[in-house]
């Protein structure tokens, strides 16, 4: 059964319409001073007009609620140039010839680009004699480009950090997380896929019509999109955010070392705050959870790019002491171009190291940090990697490389001029760091797997299985038809084996 069908469908509740007045009340910075837009309500409707006005204002455009002499561009939908001209004449506008009359498709392209785009013939509403309004050039609402070509797989879509549909993806992330807390995998995956495909779109969804032909958007997903377009928010999402179970799980799992089973246990015991949990003497915490509570305030605050770069230097310095030729690569969200994250991940490999040197490196590095007083927590997991073992069939399977999960002390002075150095108090911040040591000939597979994003990796493995009859994980790529392991020295070679166009790390933010 398709995961989309796993999402329960319920009756659509009628909600009060949101008016343009309430939307226009939100202040926004104006980036494009030379353009003053007026969006025509005729044949568009109050709700859609209000949504477009708010969207344009968020992008930095100046949008007038009422027609005035300062307006330079008139935007209309399902109107011909003659229709707009006739309406302007009824408003007693004198300098009509100085106005740009544009189809809404121009505004949609502007929203996708985040700035004004060139006005071409397809955008301009031309006034022609003896032409019926419904067939006037430019009067049609031009649909978003090439939606029929969008792949269901994130590994065939380029997804940068420029998200045109954050209003929807934020909602789907919350719903997916709620289903994950309830261990409803089908519904969780459905909303994750929906969020991923919307992140990849180069244009904003401003009408349910815009979702036609886009994969991974089931009926329930489209119902929520419609609700957000009409009301600016989703009643389903609001219900989740106010749900006691969701709020408790969100709080409990924010503690390093606390998973779903522990969160469920604490919730059933009646706990709702961390202070109550910490003060209950009957509870026994793991070593990881103790560290999570001890450094909680630092660990729940985001790691910024400057702090990640400082940790990068710290790791490279320590590794070079024992393996000067080792390659240390920052992976995860920071490799994908993100400016913040919850931890910093590193892949370490060495072309000249022996098996024993590989096995000892993380032990030596963590011992060095312990002597320097920088190691606040360490959980080192030994390698169980076997070279000719078939890749795992599970899309979220953990790899078998040696790795350690750490909390390191980062002194503010190492961050340089960043704001962290200006903070008062203890003079350092606890940072979550993951180190992975892999054999040199496995580096391409490990790098691809540890770069993410999670949904990109899930779809990459799903694509390999269903479209290429192959098996892929962080260790290897196996061709089931030819019954051979396919070697690769780079990520590009893995993409080539799979018959995929190479996608850069910063384009994998699914």
Round to whole Å and give the CA distance between 412 and 311: 11
Report CA 253 to chain centroid distance, whole Å. Answer: 20
> Does a structural domain hold residue 228?
yes
Q: Residue 424's pLDDT is what?
A: 53
User: Residue 257's domain is classified under what CATH number?
Assistant: 1.10.150.20
> Does a structural domain hold residue 211?
yes
The annotation status of 345 as a binding-site residue, yes or no, is yes
Computed from CA positions of residues 393, 394, 395, 400, in that sequence, does the dihedral angle turn out positive or negative? negative
Computed from CA positions of residues 161, 165, 170, 176, in that sequence, does the dihedral angle turn out positive or negative? negative
> Does a structural domain hold residue 19?
no
Cβ contacts of residue 27 below 8 Å, gap of 6+?
A: none
Range of the domain at 472: 454-507
> Does a structural domain hold residue 141?
no
Residues 309 and 265 in one domain: no
| Active site annotation includes 231 | no
- What is this structure's pTM? 0.75
| Active site annotation includes 345 | yes
Which candidate in 298, 343, 459, 473 is catalytic?
A: 343
Residue 274's alpha-carbon distances to 296, 440, 454, in angstroms, are: 10, 43, 28
Q: Residue 288's pLDDT is what?
A: 98
pLDDT-flagged residues of the chain (< 50):
1-25, 129-148, 417-423
Given 422, 444, 466, the domain boundary residue is 444
Residues 318 and 375 in one domain: yes
The annotation status of 473 as a binding-site residue, yes or no, is no
Grouping H, G, I as helix, E, B as strand and the rest as coil, residue 87 is: helix
Residue 435's alpha-carbon distances to 220, 277, 405, 446, 506, in angstroms, are: 40, 30, 7, 12, 21
> Does a structural domain hold residue 307?
yes
> Does a structural domain hold residue 257?
yes
Given 294, 323, 355, the domain boundary residue is 294
Which candidate in 173, 367, 379, 434 is catalytic?
A: 434
pLDDT digit string, tens, across residues 221-272: 999 999 999 998 999 999 999 999 999 999 999 999 999 999 999 999 999 9
Round to whole Å and give the CA distance between 117 and 77: 18
Residues 96 and 154 in one domain: no
**The Cα angle at residue 221 between residues 215 and 227, in degrees rounded to 5:** 130
Q: CB of 208 within 8 A of CB of 143?
A: no
DSSP sequence for 93-134: -S-GGGSEEEEHHHHHHHHHHTS-----TTTB----TT--GG
Grouping H, G, I as helix, E, B as strand and the rest as coil, residue 477 is: strand
User: Residue 364's domain is classified under what CATH number?
Assistant: 3.30.460.10
User: Residue 185's domain is classified under what CATH number?
Assistant: 1.10.150.110
**Strand boundaries in 350-416, DSSP class E:** 375-381, 402-411
DSSP sequence for 215-243: TT--HHHHHHHHHHHHHSS-HHHHHHHT-
> Does a structural domain hold residue 429?
yes
Q: CB of 408 within 8 A of CB of 431?
A: yes
Q: Residue 113's pLDDT is what?
A: 85
Count how many domains the chain has. 5
| Active site annotation includes 459 | no
The annotation status of 343 as a binding-site residue, yes or no, is yes
Residues 460 and 503 in one domain: yes
Which candidate in 210, 345, 399, 473 is catalytic?
A: 345
> Does a structural domain hold residue 449?
no
Residues 44 and 98 in one domain: yes
Q: Residue 142's pLDDT is what?
A: 39
Helix or strand holding residue 435 (H, E): strand 428-437
The percent of the chain in helix, strand and coil, each rounded to the nearest 5, is 45, 15, 40
β-bridge partners, 484 = 479
Cα dihedral 80, 86, 88, 91, rounded to 10, equals -150
Q: CB of 179 within 8 A of CB of 191?
A: yes
Cβ contacts of residue 53 below 8 Å, gap of 6+?
A: 20, 23, 24, 39, 63, 65
Given 409, 444, 479, the domain boundary residue is 444
Q: Residue 263's pLDDT is what?
A: 98
């Amino acid at each position: 059964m398709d995961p989309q069908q796993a999402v329960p469908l319920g009756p659509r509740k009628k909600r009060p319409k949101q008016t343009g007045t309430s939307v226009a009340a939100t202040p926004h910075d104006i980036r494009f001073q030379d353009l003053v837009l007026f969006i025509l309500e005729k044949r568009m409707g109050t709700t859609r007009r209000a949504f477009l006005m708010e969207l344009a204002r968020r992008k930095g455009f100046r949008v007038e609620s009422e027609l005035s002499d300062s307006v330079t561009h008139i935007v209309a939908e399902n109107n011909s140039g003659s229709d707009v001209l006739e309406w302007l004449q009824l408003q007693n506008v004198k300098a009509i010839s100085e106005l740009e009359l544009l189809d809404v498709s121009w505004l949609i392209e502007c929203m996708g680009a985040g700035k004004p785009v060139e006005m071409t013939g397809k955008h301009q509403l031309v006034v022609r004699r003896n032409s019926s309004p419904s067939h006037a050039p430019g009067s049609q609402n031009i649909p978003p480009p090439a939606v029929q070509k969008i792949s269901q797989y994130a590994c065939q879509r380029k997804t940068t950090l420029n998200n045109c549909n954050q209003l929807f993806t934020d909602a789907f992330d919350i719903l997916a997380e709620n289903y994950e807390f309830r261990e409803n995998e089908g519904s969780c995956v459905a909303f994750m896929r929906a969020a991923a495909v919307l992140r990849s779109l180069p244009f904003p969804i401003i009408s349910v019509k815009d979702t036609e032909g886009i994969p991974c958007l089931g009926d329930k997903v489209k119902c929520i999109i419609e609700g957000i377009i009409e009301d600016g928010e989703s009643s389903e999402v609001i219900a989740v955010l106010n749900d006691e179970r969701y709020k408790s799980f969100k709080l409990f799992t924010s503690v390093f070392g606390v998973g779903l089973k522990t969160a469920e246990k604490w919730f059933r015991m009646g706990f709702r705050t961390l202070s109550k949990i910490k003060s209950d003497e009957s509870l026994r915490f793991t070593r990881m959870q103790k560290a999570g509570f001890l450094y909680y305030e630092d660990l729940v605050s985001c790691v910024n790019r400057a702090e990640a770069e400082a940790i990068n230097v710290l790791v490279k310095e320590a590794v070079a002491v024992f393996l000067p030729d080792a390659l240390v690569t920052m992976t995860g969200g920071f490799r994908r171009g993100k400016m913040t994250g919850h931890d910093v991940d590193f892949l370490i490999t060495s072309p000249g190291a022996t098996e024993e040197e590989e096995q000892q490196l993380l032990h030596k590095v963590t011992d060095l940090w312990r002597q320097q007083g920088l190691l606040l927590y360490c959980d080192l997991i030994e390698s169980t990697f076997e070279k000719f073992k078939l890749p795992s069939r599970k899309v979220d399977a953990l790899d078998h490389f040696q790795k350690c999960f750490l909390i390191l002390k980062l002194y503010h002075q190492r961050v340089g001029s960043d704001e962290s150095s200006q903070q008062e108090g203890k003079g350092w911040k606890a940072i979550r760091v993951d180190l992975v040591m892999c054999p040199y000939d496995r580096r391409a597979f490990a790098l691809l797997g540890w770069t993410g994003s999670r949904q990109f990796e899930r779809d990459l493995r799903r694509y390999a299985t269903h479209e290429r009859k192959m098996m892929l994980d962080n260790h290897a790529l196996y061709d089931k038809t030819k019954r051979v392991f396919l070697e690769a020295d780079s990520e590009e070679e893995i993409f080539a084996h799979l018959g995929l166009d190479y996608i850069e790390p910063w384009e994998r933010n699914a």
